Amino acid sequence: MADYADSYEDVSMFTLSGERERVLLDTQTECTFMWSTAGGDPVGVIMNFVARDDRFWVTCTRRRKRVAAVEARPRVAVAVSSRGTKIGVSQAITYKGRAIVHDDAETKAWFYPALAARVRPDSADEQAAFVDHLDSEGRVVIEIVPDTRIGFDAEEMFRGSPAGASQTEV
């Protein structure tokens, strides 16, 4: 009997552990944010994010079609992959939940510096400039409140497999 899973019909057993999920969310700065159009079509974009208090936070200007879409249909999803990081390949997590659009000064006051620290970690001057860039009249912050989690860890899937671990990197 093999000491590895030799059938990949059901990959739900290869979930991402809580510890590896935390490392992924602390390391990766981009997610795919997904919503639906008025016509029912799914759409998604790559966005920088902050994970805080078991929620995801992203930003864009109110002019983006996604803002009106999530205000009308708040069911959304966020997917985060380890691709492009140094923490290992083929780790991924998807969260389904609801979106809340914020345009208040209090939310922007903590969010802009938090996002700047994630995407400009090496320079306080660059962080300050990025905050200034974000601080525009039409900008909103979208909070995603997850209610469903789907994790996947290819290292777990191929552990002990004669196929070996995935070696793809970007």
pLDDT in tens, 9-66: 545 556 666 777 788 789 889 999 999 999 999 999 999 999 999 999 999 999 999 9
Q: Are 57 and 116 in contact (CB under 8 A)?
A: no
Q: Give residue-wise pLDDT tens across range 117-150.
A: 999 999 999 999 999 999 999 999 999 999 998 7
For 67-123, the pLDDT digits (tens) are 999 999 999 999 998 777 776 767 778 899 999 999 999 999 999 999 999 999 999
pTM score of the predicted model: 0.85
Check: CB of residue 148 under 8 Å from CB of residue 96: yes
| Cβ-based burial of 77 (10 A; exposed 0-12, middle 13-18, buried ≥19) | buried
The one-character DSSP state at 46 is E
CA distances from 72 to 96, 101, 145 (A): 16, 11, 16
Of residues 167, 150, 149, the one with CA closest to residue 158:
167
